[in-house]
């Protein structure tokens, strides 16, 4: 009995001495916030202090230790469970705290469980009394609160079960029991809620790749510096731009293959990237290297949102003209730059719509009146057949996410209407299309004036050097010409003149091609030339000849999205 008590005293004093040395600093005092501070106030204080003491910014002695202290304080107060545990027990793990008091001879220490019913004791080194054997050895006097008869594993009424459950993390339900050896292996689980979701290889494939959404991604390893600083910043920016971007983090220690695939290399510091689309079919990562503050990171995100909406002059464009098989939508507003909402939507729907936006002075603008818009901002749409619809006017934005969601539903509905209209047209036989069922004409001197003369606004010429290339071009252009002529009713301009389609044998008409290019495109087996005879300008299409690509090229030409070059001389056919 005496031996066990003596063993307890030795263990307790050793642990007690360590506790006094390792006394934790109050996280509220570290961040300089009140105990009832909300999460926004805590984040704001954390951002300010972490920016001031970050090792990359502050080289003064002690800055690194202060930075670690700030991170530790934020980790406690930003986690709901840890903060609750700290408020109750003085420790984020839910274990009791020791507080020293220098008062009295030799000082004393006080243990508090945080609320009524927990064990409580005072230890005063100056109150040692003789106990047990005779001699000069000092004895100890302890008193413990709580209910001595509360059951469980207690010793001499001291409530040891509660005591050691707190001290060693288990009591009789797990951990080590100094009075009876091992009593189980169940350990206390500690959870740490993350403010941003974790990205795995699977979630990246299913939720991020090819979706057209801009992501703000934190890459780190468990030993990375500045992890919590950046995580907090990303969380705040994600809230501010919710609807336009999404946020997540990648642990490159656990997801090595994903980090390698994305081109993220190992680093001692955590890093932030914008995952966004600068091209329709290709996303890329751009690293953030600005100041450690939410405002700068927000601007960085806005600058890297998709830009698939073309800004146009409303008085100089007619979107009722055909643009291949995609419906068109245009945002009218008084903004000098394309709004965040529209840029986000242009990424989400980049393969389903052609996007435009225009800055207008007000609804009194003649071009706005012509569209039938009665309030701004407004969205106007055109079906593939050129039919105009005013989709929404007087758009209000209270929350970015709700506005994006609302306009997404609007676009989904308009897309269904376009498919229905296209199906109806496909079921009808085109009227007045004399070329239906016939092969495309071969461009020669005898028909140059009628096919590509000055009265023809635009001539699409399929150039070939082999019979295989001729067959491919004729098949694609024949189908595209019928589809386009049907949708635009044989007209692309108000003058009522149609596009002309023809084929050209490059082997026999080399001089004609030399008028466009000094080398006559000799390295190309097949290509397209968009030729404007009256202006003597042209644009060449040298990509793969497919229905989709050719339609997209012709649509871009019609909408003024393709740069034309001046011919070297007037083209002449033999």
Taking the C-alpha atoms of residue 5 and residue 44, their distance in angstroms, rounded to an integer, is 50
Q: Parse the chain into domains and list their residue ranges.
A: 2-182, 201-303, 309-426, 448-566
Number of other residues whose CB lies within 10 A of the CB of residue 483: 20
Cβ-Cβ contacts under 8 Å for 213 (sequence gap 6 or more): 245, 246, 344, 347, 348
pLDDT score recorded for residue 121: 44
Choose from 6-10, 57-61, 107-111, 314-318 the range with maximum mean pLDDT. Answer: 57-61
Tell me if the bond preceding 377 is cis, omega within 30° of 0.
Answer: yes
pLDDT score recorded for residue 321: 54
pLDDT score recorded for residue 326: 85
Mean pLDDT of the chain: 76
pLDDT in tens, 353-384: 999 999 998 999 988 988 999 999 999 998 88
pLDDT in tens, 199-218: 999 999 999 998 999 999 99
pLDDT score recorded for residue 134: 41
Q: Which residue has the higher pLDDT, 255 or 496?
A: 255
pTM score, two decimals?
Answer: 0.50
For the packed helices 340-348 and 400-426, what is the interaxial angle rounded to 10 degrees?
A: 50
The answer to whether domain 201-303 and domain 448-566 are alike in fold is: yes
Cβ-Cβ contacts under 8 Å for 30 (sequence gap 6 or more): 69, 70, 72, 73
pLDDT score recorded for residue 188: 33
In this prediction, residue 537 has a pLDDT band, given cuts at 50, 70 and 90, of: very high
Q: Which of 354, 212, 200, 201 is nearest to 283 (CA)?
A: 212
First to last CA, the chain: 119
**Interior/surface letters 46-79, b for 16+ CB within 10 angstroms, e for the rest:** bbebbeebbeeeeeeeeeeebbebbbbbbbbbbb
pLDDT in tens, 406-435: 999 999 999 999 988 877 655 554 443 333
Instruction: State the architecture of 448-566 in CATH terms.
Output: 3-Layer(aba) Sandwich (3.40)
- The CATH number of 201-303 is 3.40.30.10
Q: Which residue has the higher pLDDT, 29 or 322?
A: 29
- The CATH number of 2-182 is 1.10.287.110
Question: What's the rounded mean pLDDT across residues 229-256?
Answer: 93
pLDDT in tens, 5-31: 555 555 555 555 444 444 457 899 999
Per CATH, which fold does 309-426 belong to? Glutaredoxin (3.40.30)
Using a pLDDT cut of 70, give the percent of the chain over it.
71
pLDDT score recorded for residue 565: 92
pLDDT score recorded for residue 275: 96
Please, are residues 328 and 356 in contact by the beta-carbon 8 Å criterion? yes
Taking the C-alpha atoms of residue 428 and residue 444, their distance in angstroms, rounded to an integer, is 33
Q: Which residue has the higher pLDDT, 489 or 52?
A: 52
Q: With 50 as the cut, is the pLDDT of residue 494 above it?
A: no
Q: Which residue has the higher pLDDT, 110 or 553?
A: 553
């Amino acid at each position: 009995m005496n031996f066990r008590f003596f063993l307890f005293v030795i263990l307790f004093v050793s642990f007690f001495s360590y506790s006094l040395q390792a006394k934790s600093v109050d996280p509220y005092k570290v961040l300089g916030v009140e105990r009832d501070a909300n999460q926004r106030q805590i984040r704001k204080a954390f951002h300010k202090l972490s920016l001031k003491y970050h090792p990359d910014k502050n080289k003064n002695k002690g800055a690194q230790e202060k930075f670690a202290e700030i991170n530790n304080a934020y980790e406690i107060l930003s986690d709901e469970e840890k903060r609750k545990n700290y408020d109750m027990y003085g420790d984020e793990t839910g274990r009791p705290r020791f507080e020293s008091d220098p008062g009295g001879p030799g000082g004393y220490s006080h243990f508090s469980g945080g609320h009524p019913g927990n064990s409580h004791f005072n230890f005063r080194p100056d109150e040692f009394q003789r106990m047990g054997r005779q001699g000069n050895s000092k004895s100890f006097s302890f008193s413990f609160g709580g209910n001595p008869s509360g059951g469980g594993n207690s010793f001499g009424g001291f409530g040891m079960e509660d005591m050691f459950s707190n001290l060693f993390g288990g009591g009789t339900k797990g951990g080590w029991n100094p009075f009876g050896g091992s009593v189980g292996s169940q350990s206390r689980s500690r959870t740490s809620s993350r403010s941003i979701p974790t990205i795995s290889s699977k979630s990246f494939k299913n939720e991020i790749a090819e979706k057209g959404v801009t992501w703000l991604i934190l890459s780190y390893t468990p030993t990375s510096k500045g992890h919590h600083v950046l995580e907090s910043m990303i969380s705040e920016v994600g809230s501010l731009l919710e609807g336009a971007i999404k946020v997540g983090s990648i642990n490159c220690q656990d997801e090595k293959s994903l980090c390698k695939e994305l081109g993220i290399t190992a680093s001692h510091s955590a890093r932030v990237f914008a995952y966004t689309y600068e091209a329709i079919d290709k996303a890329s990562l751009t690293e953030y290297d600005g100041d450690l503050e939410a405002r700068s990171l927000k601007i960085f995100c806005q600058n890297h949102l998709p830009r698939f909406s073309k800004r146009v002059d409303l008085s100089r464009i007619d979107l009722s003209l055909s643009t291949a098989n995609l419906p068109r939508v245009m945002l009218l507003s008084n903004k000098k730059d394309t709004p965040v909402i529209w840029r986000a939507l242009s990424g989400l729907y980049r393969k389903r719509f052609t996007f435009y936006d225009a800055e207008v002075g007000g609804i009194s603008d003649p071009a706005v009146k012509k569209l039938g818009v009665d309030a701004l901002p407004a969205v106007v749409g055109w079906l593939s057949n050129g039919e105009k619809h005013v989709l929404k006017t007087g758009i209000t934005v209270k929350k970015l996410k709700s506005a994006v969601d609302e306009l997404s539903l609007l676009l989904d509905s308009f897309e269904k209407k376009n498919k229905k209209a296209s199906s109806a047209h496909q079921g009808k036989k085109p009227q007045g299309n004399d070329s239906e069922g016939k092969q495309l004409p071969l461009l020669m001197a005898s028909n140059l004036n009628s096919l590509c003369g000055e009265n023809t606004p635009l001539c699409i010429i399929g150039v070939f050097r082999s019979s295989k290339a001729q067959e491919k071009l004729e098949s694609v252009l024949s189908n595209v010409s019928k589809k386009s002529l049907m949708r635009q009713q044989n007209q692309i301009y108000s003058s009522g003149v149609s596009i002309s389609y023809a084929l050209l044998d490059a082997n026999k008409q080399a001089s004609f091609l030399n008028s466009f290019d000094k080398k006559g495109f000799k390295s190309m087996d097949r290509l397209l030339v968009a030729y404007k005879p009256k202006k003597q300008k042209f644009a060449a299409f040298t990509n793969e000849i497919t229905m989709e690509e050719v339609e997209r090229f012709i649509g871009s030409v019609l909408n003024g999205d393709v740069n034309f070059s001046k011919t070297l001389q007037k083209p002449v056919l033999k």
